[in-house]
Amino acid sequence: MNQLSTPALTQEQMLPSQQPVRLIDESGTAAVGRTYKENYPLPAEQTLLRGYAQLVTGRRINDQASALVRQGRMAVYPSSHGQEACQVAAAMCLADGDWLFPTYRDTVAVMARGVDPVQVMELLRGSWHSGYDPYEHNVATQSTPLATQLLHAVGVAHAAKLKGQDTVVVALCGDGASSEGDFHEALNFAAVFHVPVVFFVQNNEYAISVPLSQQSVAPSLAHKAIGYGMPGERVDGNDLAALLAVLGNAVQRARSGGGPSLVEAHTYRMQSHTNADDASRYRTADEVSAWEPRDPLLRLRTYLLGANLLTEADEGRIAAEAESVAKVLRDGLNADVSVDPQDLFRFVYSEPTPQLLEQAQLLGEELSREGATS
């Protein structure tokens, strides 16, 4: 009823631009003179410089985490190598009170938001299902059941709207997740209730082995937006400048009461789905190497160097920052983590049920017997 009080958008406002929005092209040149449906100015120099530093850190986190898996310090790591611009932009477009709803692949975005790196890795090192307090940085737990978190994002935004909070929620998912029912339900609910959510799809062309062509034959994933009555936009997912502009615009729309929108970033998963996957079984080396020149770090670095915005000293400082995060990860994950078996029973209910107390006692006795004999 009253949800429909906002004026309907025109088709033009809802359909994405013909081409993904791009502000810096693959040669590192600012792409001027293009027309998109909105005016997307190049972000400020300092913002780009800050973003570049985050990209370098993000790449370093991906490399370090992959190494830690090889060394047996982590169970698994779904790398966002190649998608770092999306990761960094998702964190940078938010204000402090805003919320981020990440997936298993969005570790870099979670860390870019300020969450403690070692706590983030509790999931992937296998010491608990999630290691950080979602309320500390307004970052939800990394979601594994595909697209389910999008509905939680809608709920947080709906509550924020009812409470009059000035909160925007950015919800992440992949191209494959866009086929799930919860993706549809979340976008529809968000549009009907007109809540401040930005759905940000990282289209990296694959869902494990399945290419996008087998997920959807829509003109683009961003075209789905019009079906829900919200604006959709497509953006070059390896262009941090364009991502910041497009996501910034969407966040601004949400914050000013303009409702939800859908942003699709065109990017590429440069590595296997996780360390346990073998991407060579379903895609060619040529296909992968064609994406190498489109690397998000390379592109922004070339631009910044060309514009005299990045000095050698800056690069040294940025590399050192990235290395210090990698060291935090190495030190944290190389230290053996202590797990408390009684934690198994502590949090299932606000107070353990009589049955759980019995089971906790059973395990406690087992462990003390083991302790006595060893």
Partner 1 sequence: MTAISARPTAADPSVQTPPATAESPAAATAGPAAGKQQSLTFAKALTLAMADSMAADDAVVVFGEDVGVLGGVFRITEGLNKRFGQERCFDTPLAESGIVGMAVGMAMNGMKPVVEMQFDAFAYPAFEQVVSHVAKMANRTKGKVRLPMVIRIPYAGGIGGVEHHCDSSEAYYVHTPGLTVLAPSTAVDAYLMLRDAIRSPDPVVFLEPKKLYFAKEDVDIDALRAAYESTAQATSIGRAVIAREGTDATLIAYGPSVPTALAAAEAAAAEGRSLQVIDVRSLVPFDDETVCAAVRRTGRAVVIAEAPGFASVAAEIVARVQERCFHSLAAPVRRVTGFDIPYPAPKLEQHYLPGVDRILDVVDELQWEDQ
Chain contacts with ligand TPP (rule: CB under 6 A): 105, 144-146, 173-177, 204, 206-208, 269, 273
175 lies in the binding site for Mg ion (CB under 5 A): yes
Using an 8 Å Cβ cutoff, are 172 and 101 in contact? yes
The smaller minimum CB distance to Mg ion, of residues 110 and 207, is found at 207
Candidate list 145, 257, 341, 364; residue touching partner 1; CB under 8 A: 145
State the binding partner of 31 from ligand TPP, partner 1, Mg ion, none, CB within 5 to 8 A by kind: none
174 lies in the binding site for Mg ion (CB under 5 A): yes
Give the neighbor-by-neighbor strand order of the sheet with 261-266. Answer: 99-101, 169-174, 197-203, 261-266, 232-236
The smaller minimum CB distance to Mg ion, of residues 122 and 205, is found at 205
Using an 8 Å Cβ cutoff, are 246 and 21 in contact? yes
Phi-psi region of 48 (alpha: psi -120 to 50; beta: other; left: phi over 0): alpha
Give the shortest CB-174-to-Mg ion separation in angstroms. 4
Site pattern 191..220 for partner 1 (x: CB under 8 A) = -x----------------------------
237 lies in the binding site for Mg ion (CB under 5 A): no
Phi-psi region of 28 (alpha: psi -120 to 50; beta: other; left: phi over 0): left
Candidate list 81, 113, 125, 152; residue touching partner 1; CB under 8 A: 152
Angle subtended at Cα 51 by Cα 220 and Cα 275, rounded to the nearest 5 degrees: 65
State the binding partner of 152 from partner 1, ligand TPP, Mg ion, none, CB within 5 to 8 A by kind: partner 1
Phi-psi region of 246 (alpha: psi -120 to 50; beta: other; left: phi over 0): alpha
Q: At which residue do the structure tokens 């615009």 appear? A: 249
Q: Which of residues 238-297 bind partner 1 (CB under 8 A)?
A: none
DSSP conformation class of 177: G
Radius of gyration of the chain (CA): 22
The contact set with partner 1 (CB under 8 A) reads 1-2, 128-130, 133-135, 140-141, 145, 148, 150-160, 162-163, 165, 181-182, 184-186, 188-189, 192, 343, 346-350, 353-355
